[in-house]
Each structure stands twice: as C-alpha cells, then as structure tokens.
Structure 1
Amino acid sequence: MRYRPEPAFKHGQAPRVGIVWANLGTPDAPTPSALRRYLAQFLSDTRVVEIPALAWKIILHGIILRVRPAQSAAKYASVWTPEGSPLAVWTQRQAKLLQGYLGERGHAVTVLPAMRYGQPSIESTLNALRAQGAEKILILPCQCHKTARLLAEALELSRDSYQVTFQSRFGKAKWLEPSTEPTLKALAGQGQKRVDVICPGFVADCLETLEEIQMEGKQAFMAAGGKQFHYIPCLNASHEGISALAQIAIEQLAGWPTTLATDPALLAASVSRAREMGAGG
C-alpha cells in the first residue's frame, strides 16, 4: 500500500471536513474503448464476480472484453447527454448541491463526487480533499437499500398493489428474483394495462434506469399487451432528494468540527501559541 505525504500544515487554519459522495461508476464515453476500460475494472472485482480468479481472467479477457464493450457502448450511447454520462452528471450536481444545502444549515463542508469504478476515483478524490486540508472525511455511498418496502409504507400501498423486482442480471448465473422484464410481460398478459415503475435503489438516473427500465422495460410491457408505461424518475437533483441527503449527512457528521466558528481573533491566537512553542508554520 502506498502512503502519500501529508499536506503542509498551517497554524491558525480552521478545521476542515470533507465528504466523498461515492457512486458505483460509469465509463468516460459511450465508446467500445472506454467501455473496455470500465468493464475490465468493474468485472475484475472479486466482489462482483465470484468465480475462481484464473478461470474468470481467461473468460473476461478472452471472451467478454472482446464482445461486450461494443454492445454496452451502444446502450450507453442511447442515454448519453451532451454533458456526459447521466450518472456522472447527476452525481456531480448532487455533490455541489449537497455542499450548498449543508452550508445553508451552518455546516462548512467540502463535498466532492467519486466513483468506485471509473473516474473520478475514490482514491483521487480522497487525495484532493487531503490536499485541501481536510482532517476528517466522511464516505457517503449513493446506493440505497431496503427502500422499496419503506417507500410502499410511506405511500400506504396495499401489498397487492405493488411488486418488487430485480434487474441488471449478469451472465447465466441465478440472480435475484422475480426479474423485472418477465414480470412486466406477465402483468400485461394478465390484463394489466398500466404500470408505474420506480427504481428506489438508485438516487440518480443512469443506464440501468433509463435504458433497461424506461426503454427496454417499456418495450417489453407494450409488446405483451400493455397500454401505459409510466417511468418515475429518480430523485436526481430535486429539492426533496438533496434535503434528505443533507439530513443523512448531518446525522453522520454529528460531533465533527463542521460548525466551529472561524473567528479571526481565535485563529490568530492559535498561531501565536504555536509559535511560542516553537512551531514554524
């Protein structure tokens, strides 16, 4: 493990706190070469693919990375925006807004976006915060868990009025069930004419929501006899979403020096005491 040198310390500087708003990841461009780099990193993670390393390396580099990048690039191109990847765009906006919302609530915090796979990496973001003098850093992951049940309870939905399904199956291995697309087809086949679809596990729209659900899911439902397919966007940069994120962050930052006053007189006194004790900075 490599350790980077600590940034120069300056006496009289107010304590700084940083937040890493970490999302899963996205390629740099909707091209086969960019997807090859992204998929190589993503699919090399043993927590993603639990196959013996040697066998998986042969499969990954000998088959998957020769075929899948072009297929995935076409999918990304269908949802790419002039500003870039939807996931990257929303994650950057969320980080900027989160910093602003926290500032309005009296918390002086620097918030930077990061990706577990792709750029900006978590490592580079941590280094950026340390270079800015952050002494404490909170990692705030974007992934949500158990939200479907909580959402249904908040909306007071009866158990027979909604279904929870799973998507983004990879390979032929058994996946979480029921799967989304077969469920949509079955509902249409049973005479259901309208469905409202939401992806509560995502805080920002991305390939999985925009292409797999809003496009492919709609096509499957309509082709099976459905009449109305209504996709409900993720929270993205909505006021309600960012407010909720700010509240979560504040709870996790409890006891951290985010609201300390930066009285110039107090900071100057700190510098004087440090110099009296022989400090050079």
Structure 2
Amino acid sequence: MTNATTDSANPDMNSPGSGRLAHADSDHPPVPRARVGVLLANLGTPDATDYWSMRRYLSEFLSDKRVVDYADWKWQPLLQLIILSRRPFKSGEAYRSIWNTEKDESPLLTTTREQTRRVAEGLQAMYGDQVMVDFCMRYGNPSTDSVIKRMQTAGCEKILFFPLYPQYASPTTATANDQAFRTLMTLKWQPALRTVPAYFDHPQYIEALANTVREAYTAAATPPEVLVASYHGVPKRYLLEGDPYHCQCQKTTRLLRETLGWEKEAIQTAFQSKFGPEEWVGPATVEHVADLARQGKKHIAVISPAFSSDCVETLEEIEEEIRDAFLEAGGETFTYVPCLNERDDHIDALLAIIDNELSGWVSPRA
C-alpha cells in the first residue's frame, strides 16, 4: 500500500471529501479528508429505566476503579450480589421521575446532544468544515470507544477531548480521559489526542453561573437569603491523596461570589450524593439545608456548578430529596437554579475554551 498524507489542504486529494489519492495505486482504499475532531464527554446515562438497563449502567459505573477504588475481591461480591440486587430498583424510580418521555431518554442525553449541536454550529462559523463535533458518554451510550472510532473513520487525525466537568476530579475528568486513551490502545493508527483541562475558574464560565443566579433571584417571589453551591461529593481521602476537586470547588464558589459582588455569608459550599461508609468532604447538602432552616433561614436557593447539564443528581436529588429536607425542617421557599445546559452564555464559554485548546491545529477561516 502506498503511504499517503491526508491533510485537508493536500492538493493530491481528488475532492474535499473521501476519495482516492491522486498519486496512489488504483487499489488504494478511499481516504477521508483529514479533519480535527472535537469530542464532548459527559458522565453517562442508562438506556432505559427498567431493572436490567439500570443494572448494566450501575455495574459499569460502580466497577470503575476511579469511582470505587477498593480491591475487586472485596468490592465485586458486595456490588454484584447485594448492591446491584436492590439499587437498580431505587435508581430506576429516580430516573423515571425525570425521564424525557417524549424522546425516551434521560435529560442528560437530551441536553448533551443539544449542547453538541450548538457547539458544532459555533465551530462551523469559526472554522468552516475543518472541525467535526460529536459527543460521548463515559458510561452507557454513545460509548467513548464507538465515537472515537467513528470520528477516526471520518478522517479525524487529531481529536480534542473535552470532559464537561468544570472542576477536575479523579472519578469524573480522569476516568473520562482514561477511557479515551483505552480506545487509543486498541487502534493501529492512533489519532493525536488533546484533553481539555478543568475550567472551574474560566471567566466566561463564572459569568454564566452568575447570570443564572441573577435571573433566578429576579424571578423569585421571595428573595433567597442564602445561595448554597452544591457540588457532587468525593471521599475525603481523595483530597488527602492529592485530588484538587475540593479546592477547585471552593474557588468556583469564591469567584462566583466576587462576580456577584456579595458578602461571604451569602453563598455557602456543600457536597451531595454521598455513597458508601467512608467520610466524604462536607458539609453534606441534604443536612446543610436542613440546618439552615433550623437556624431561621426560611428562603434559600441551590445551584450546582459542577454539573454542565441537569441530570438525576439535580432534577431528582436536589429538586426532590434536598428540597424536601429543607421544607420538612421548617424552610418556606426553595429555589433551584438550573444548570448551564444549552444557555447561550454557556455555549459561548465552551466555544472560547475549545478555540483556545485548538490553537495550532486549526485556523479561523477568513
């Protein structure tokens, strides 16, 4: 087989799309025009809410060493024989309460697809057809493996891999990157891969968060007395072992407060979704909001800066479990500030980050 360069600017290509190289032998297979890929990655979603769909999803998620790093001999029997015999029922019920019945999919999948469409439109305006945009999930479908292979088949010799987690954490950003590199390990011809770093302090991300707070407070019938920034929790051990997540969450809260021009007491940081017997970073959101109610704070708001899209942890856990804890403890009004989702200012922030990270790979079209 004749070696061939498939640069998009290569004059030997017969056409801008897939085709035979002009200088190649007649039996050379078609070669796609080289492009740069941008791959947005999110946590994942079950395919459905029934027991077996939930079990498959939870088994993949909870078997990830980045999520639960106990030895297999200790953890897998407990997971497979006890936890996964019961938890899929409870998780399925939670997902059913928020499921997008029109599209028969989770809200996370719906929103991530729309974010991808909006980002693709923005990059088309900036770079023309030089860039291909797609999305994948760390757990469930579309899988990271399948999408990277699809992008490579379409001609992506370079891929910018973008985990949609503003704050870096081993169980989120790191495991998403791990999965991308696992796919590369299986390929004869690996595309070049760049990973996007955490963007917890990016000015446009912070400004988008501030805009959502301003809008929620303006719309609230009774102004909240406290804003709780609720982040997904991690075991405290991770912090002590060098994971920067807790510190980055604290900085995001501080930058949000400074952007809003508020006093320190007006925003408080808490962590949700505790799992297992270990000590986790705190305070726990569900307990903290109840304490606020008992302390006389009758009107609060909650925002989730660690989630780029509303999902079961926000639409079910915050909007139902955490809201109920506050109201049952004596609170009166609970305002949930939605995630950034496909807001214009959020898409603009993502485009600014991508544009910076694509430096040297593509040039804006004239």
- 1:95 equivalenced with 2:116 (yes/no): yes
Q: Match for residue 119 of structure 1?
A: 141
Structure 1 residue 149 displacement after superposition: 2.7
Deviation at 1:257, TM superposition (A): 2.5
How big is each residue's C-alpha offset from its partner over 1:9-58, in whole Å with a ceiling of 9 and x where there is no partner? 69424531111100011111112111100011111111111211111011
- Structure number with higher relative contact order (C-alpha < 8 Å, ≥ 6 residues apart): 1
TM-score by length of 2: 0.67
Identity of aligned residues (%): 42
Deviation at 1:168, TM superposition (A): 1.0
CA distance in 2, matches of 1:239, 1:118: 28
CA shift, 1:203, in A, is 0.8
**C-alpha deviations, 1:159-195, integer Å up to 9, x for none?**
1111100011112221111000100000000110110
Q: Which amino acid aligns with 2:140?
A: G
The answer for the alignment partner of 2:328 in structure 1 is 223
SS at the partner of 1:117? Answer: strand
Match status 1:55 vs 2:74: yes
Aligned to 2:107: 86
Q: Provide the C-alpha distance between the structure 2 equivalents of 1:154 and 1:139, rounded to a whole number of angstroms.
A: 29
For the aligned residue pairs, the C-alpha RMSD in angstroms reads 1.9
Contact 2:57/2:139 (CA < 8 Å) preserved in 1? yes
Q: 1:198 aligns with which of 303, 308, 333?
A: 303
Q: Which stretch of the first structure deviates more once superposed, 252-261 or 219-228?
A: 252-261
CA contact (8 A) 2:61 2:139 kept: yes
What is the SS of the residue equivalent to 1:41? helix
Question: How far does residue 216 in structure 1 lie from its aligned partner after superposition?
Answer: 1.1
- How many residue pairs match? The answer is 256
Distance 1:247 1:104 in 2: 13
Structure 2 counterpart of 1:142, one-letter code: L
Structure 1 position 178 matched with structure 2 position 270? no
**CA distance, structure 2, for counterparts of residue 71 and residue 161 of structure 1:** 35
Distance 2:137 2:357 in 1: 20
| Contact in 2 for aligned 1:17/1:258 (Cα 8 Å) | no
2:163 counterpart (133, 141, 145): 141
SS at match of 2:270: coil
Match of 1:159 among 236, 239, 264: 264
Q: How far 1:66 moved relative to its partner?
A: 0.7
User: Residue deviations 1:123-167, cap 9 Å, x none?
Assistant: 111011011111110000101113323222221222111110001
Is the Cα–Cα contact under 8 Å of residues 109 and 258 in structure 1 kept in the other structure?
A: no
Which of the residues 235, 244, 252 maps onto 2:349? 244
Provide the secondary structure at the position in 1 that maps to 2:117: helix
Alignment of 1:269-280 (within 5 A): none
Q: Aligned pair 1:253/2:358, yes or no?
A: yes
Query: 1:232-252 CA distances to partner (integer Å, 9 max, x unpaired)?
Result: 101111111101100000000
Question: Quick one: distance in 2 between partners of 1:206 and 1:174?
Answer: 25
Counterparts of 1:70 and 1:126 in 2: how far apart (Å)? 32
- Counterpart amino acid of 2:81? G
Displacement after TM superposition at 1:102 (Å): 1.5
Does the 8 A contact of 1:167 with 1:179 survive in 2?
yes
* Secondary structure in structure 1 of the residue aligned to 2:272: coil
The answer to whether the 8 Å contact 2:298/2:330 transfers is yes
2:52 matched to 1:39?
A: no
Q: Which runs of 5+ in 1 are unaligned?
A: 1-6, 262-281
Q: Secondary structure at the match of 1:105?
A: helix
User: Which 5+ residue runs of structure 2 have no aligned equivalent?
Assistant: 17-32, 168-247
Deviation, structure 1 residue 110: 1.2
